[in-house]
Amino acid sequence: MENYLEINRKSWNAKVEPHLKSDFYFVDEFLKGRTSLNSIELEFLGDVSGKEILHLQCHFGQDSISLSRMGAKVTGIDLSDKAIEAAKDLAEKCETDTHFLVSDVYELPKILDKKFDIVYTSYGTIGWLPDLEKWAQVISHFLKPGGKFVFVEFHPVVWMFDDDFTHVKYNYFNEKPIVETYEGTYADQKADLLQQYVMWNHPTSEVLAGILKANLSLRSFQEYDWSPYACFRHNEEFEKGKYIIPQFGNKVPHVFLFGSRKRKY
């Protein structure tokens, strides 16, 4: 869809204010020093002190700022101008030097001339992008030789089901754009929002193919039978900070992680 960017920008702009007020994003606690990063990504990010990090699709920048607090030099980008405005305000309140830019992922090489030690992106990002080969090429473009790509995302199996997880509704494979209207938001199901969006489902094979074609070597692939977020209509916390979709239990993956490095030649 030629106008998917404008549809999704409008949708994400509308989410910013209710998200800032939601318990899901715990902004008050965040301002007091709580990190937004989870054990899954922290394990693979490792020591980031002094590292130059590019955070793609950063929303209003909590992960970016959390990485800055760990000593990294972070640039966060997002399609939503409202989100980046909020990110800059949040960074100022947190007294970090996190840098933020408004950009679509695909257009970023046209406006940012820099190389990074780490490119990071996480949770609910690639579904907004139609072309993962192009996505991976952008990642490779910004990585220094030997640089690390850390990518953690909800597993595509989860996106096959209807919102109540009663039946398979969508194709596992990237068949066509999914154009729908959603009431509320994952951070606040009762929010007074009614927004159209455009998304694509991407199988893990499509992610892997894009990474391997972009001069990135695969160093790790992990699947997890839980999620660190209670962002679906049905969630069950079986351990502190770990959630499952109760209809699935631990029988299906909820989240996956790819760790890659850019080849030096």
Q: What is the pLDDT of residues 200-213, one digit of tens each?
A: 999 999 999 999 99
Report how far residue 150's alpha carbon sits from residue 258's, in angstroms, rounded to the nearest whole number.
Answer: 6
Position 265 scores a pLDDT of 76
For the domain spanning 3-262, the CATH number is 3.40.50.150
pTM: 0.97
> What residue segments make up the domains of the chain, in order of their start?
3-262
CB-based contacts of 35, cutoff 8 Å, min separation 6: 66, 69
The answer on pLDDT for 165 being more than 90 is yes
Report how far residue 31's alpha carbon sits from residue 16's, in angstroms, rounded to the nearest whole number.
Answer: 17
Residue pLDDT, tens place only, 112-124? 999 999 999 999 9
CB 67 within 8 A of CB 44: no
- DSSP E strands in 26-115: the ranges are 52-55, 73-78, 99-102
CB-based contacts of 244, cutoff 8 Å, min separation 6: 225, 226, 227, 235, 236, 238, 250, 254
